[in-house]
Structure 1
Amino acid sequence: MTAAATARRADPLAGAHVTFGRVLGSEWIKFTSLRSTVWTIAVTLVVMVGFALLMAWGMSFANEAPAGAEAPPMPDGAMLGLAAVTTSYGLAQIVMAVWGVLVISGEYSTGQIRSTLTAVPTRLPVLAAKGLLMALASFIVGALGVALSVLATAPILSSNDMALDLGDSATQQVLIGVPLYLTGITLLALGIGALVRHSAGGIAVVLGLIIVLPILTTIPLDFIDTIAPYFPSAAGERIVMGEMTGAVLTPWQGYGVFMIYVVAALAAAGVLLRRRDA
């Protein structure tokens, strides 16, 4: 009896089970202890708000007139104001893509992934926990960036007849579309980072998909024009662009196509995570 009690004291983890909650808690500690997390959030917010202010300031000159002349009417000022607030997602997605890759590739580069997978031999909960944390973090950061951009640009937009109509359903869809798109980009980057397992390589692949691949649309070939709306970033950006005349996909259809890429990347990452050595 004494020996058994001693054994229990010697092994404080005796009887402990690996649950998803514990894996999530472990990933949360790693997530919040990384300096890159703080820097990424800060850079994303600065980029989104700063670029929105720059766009709003630049658009305000479009409504100015020479001295003594009447200012020309701003065509659809509310939509121009909405564009000024939301176009910063194009820069923010680059930061989010790098963040998504580094969250997983960083563990491979330091060798910490071996300890993580030893503690969680089923492996898939690790990827699921990282995905859940990154989805929540990227959506919150994106939503906060949009909210701060709306507040920061309000004085400029209001004084130039470009104030947002926040009660309009189309405006609401575009504003919520920005964090949704950034969340998808982050998860896509996480999946690719888990597949490539190398920071530089993973970042190159993700940026190639969202920046380089759309350049192919400039090639005057019919089949490229046909498939271009289904490219990852082109489809995902439909949720940010809103309803457009002549668009192949509606905003939600485009986002659905985009999420197919995201799910495929994460599923492939999960399969290889189980099969490959750390």
Structure 2
Amino acid sequence: MGVIAAERIKLTSVKSPWWCSGIVIVIGIGFAWLMGFSAKMAWENYREIDQPGFEQWFLNPFEATLGIHLFGVTVLMILAALVVTSEYRFGVVRNTFLATNHRGMVLLAKAGITAVLAAVLTALVTVGALLLARAAAGAEAGAQLSLSGAESGRLLYAIPIYAALAMFLAVGVGAIVRQTAGAVAILLLWPLVVESIVTVLPRVGEHVGPFLPFANANLFLTGDTMPGMDNFHWGPWGGIAYFAGFVAIVFAASIALVNSRDA
């Protein structure tokens, strides 16, 4: 408990968590309003054009919360990595490891604190994003955004679960790399660039894609509506279990490396 309290004090005594939380709120809420407003404009154009082949746009909860699970969680992963790499940069980690007999407990405390922060924050922002997107879209375009709807209700727990697991992954990557620029580059390029490129490779992407960690996380977030879901060998809950297993491997590797090398 002392390790957890110490990590909580260290996290809340600096400005970066507050700034990152503010960024997540602004991006999540702002993107939701933008998507809702765009959907409303699309519906107004639909009324003016009045063509049978023109499809209406019903804004769905996944689209409305895109700013949270795509951009917001990425910001929080960078914060979680900085929790580790900043201590290596300034040499504070030596004192941290001297204060406890088990270095792995330090990483668990760091990951646990940031995971709780990420889960609570994303849950609250998800509620706000869905409400604002529905208000901006109007009754017609935002018909699918009710909090009592099945997809909205699923995202209210799916996004926090994904965010919490992503914090353990980010702390693990930060502990392995021990360098801020390298850790941030990995956490940004991996889900946004590397996996996107691999999944579209001819004759390779359809076979490799179902085994990519963030692709499985997206399967959990989108549920049965994910394009190309037929290529996966399991459903949404299998996807998050696969992602959790991958996170566990990376985190276990980080603990092993921290215990085996000098601070």
TM norm. shorter chain > 0.5: yes
1:108 to 2:88 alignment: yes
Deviation at 1:70, TM superposition (A): 5.3
Task: Give the aligned partner of residue 86 of structure 1.
Answer: 65
Q: Does residue 1:271 correspond to 2:251, yes or no?
A: no
Q: 1:140 aligns with which of 94, 101, 120?
A: 120
> Which residue of structure 2 aligns with residue 189 of structure 1?
170
Q: CA deviation at 1:47?
A: 0.6
* Cα distance in 1, alignment partners of residues 96 and 48 from structure 2: 70
Distance 1:159 1:107, change over 3 A: same
- For 1:131-185, what per-residue CA distance to the aligned partner results, in whole angstroms no more than 9, with x for missing partners? 1101101101111110111222232233334232333333311332222222222
Q: Which amino acid aligns with 1:82?
A: P
Matched letter for residue 159 of structure 2: V
Task: For 1:68 and 1:205, locate their aligned partners in 2 and report how far apart those are by CA, in whole Å.
Answer: 47
Q: Does 1:126 align with 2:106?
A: yes
Percent identity, aligned pairs only? Answer: 29
Question: Which stretch of the first structure deviates more once superposed, 28-37 or 82-91?
Answer: 82-91
SS in 2 for 1:43: helix
1:6 is matched with which residue? none
- 1:194-237 CA-partner distances (Å, limit 9, x unpaired): 111111111112222211222222221x2332111221211111
Alpha-carbon distance between aligned partners in 1 of 2:204 and 2:63, rounded to the nearest angstrom: 33
Superposition misfits of 4+ residues, deviation over 4 angstroms: 66-76
Question: 1:170-249 residue pairs with structure 2 within 5 A?
Answer: 170-214=151-195, 215-220=197-202, 222-244=203-225, 246=230, 248=232, 249=234
Report if the CA contact (8 A) 2:40-2:138 is conserved: no
Q: Is the 8 A contact 1:174 1:239 kept in 2?
A: no
Q: Counterpart amino acid of 1:123?
A: R
Given that 1:108 and 1:197 are in contact with CA atoms closer than 8 Å, whether structure 2 keeps it comes out as yes
* 8 Å CA contact 2:40, 2:137 repeated in 1: yes
Deviation of 1:49 (Å) = 0.6
Instruction: Note the 1:247-266 alignment, pairs <5 A.
Output: 248=232, 249-266=234-251
Deviation at 1:247, TM superposition (A): 5.1
RMSD across aligned C-alpha pairs, in angstroms? 2.1
State the AA in 2 paired with 1:130.
K
Q: 2:37: which partner in 1?
A: 57
Distance in 2 between residues matched to 1:217 and 1:69, nearest whole Å: 37
* Amino acid across the alignment from 2:125: G
Query: Match of 1:261, as an amino acid?
Result: F
Structure 1: which 5+ runs fail to align?
1-20
The CA distance in 2 between the partners of 1:218 and 1:144, in whole Å, is 34
| Aligned partners of 1:189 and 1:206 also within 8 Å | yes
1:149 maps to which of 122, 126, 129: 129
TM-score scaled by structure 1?
0.85
Counterpart residue type for residue 203 of structure 1: V
Deviations 1:68-97 (A, max 9, x none): 6659796573xx231332211211132122
**Whole-angstrom CA distance in 2 between matches of 1:243 and 1:155:** 26
Q: For residues 153 and 51 of structure 2, what CA distance do their matches in structure 1 show? A: 29
- Amino acid in structure 1 at the alignment position of 2:173: I
The more displaced of 81-90 and 107-116 is 81-90
Pick closer, same or farther for the CA change 1:69–1:227 going to 2, 3 Å.
closer
Count of aligned pairs: 255
Q: Measure, in 2, the Cα distance between the counterparts of 1:56 and 1:23.
A: 43
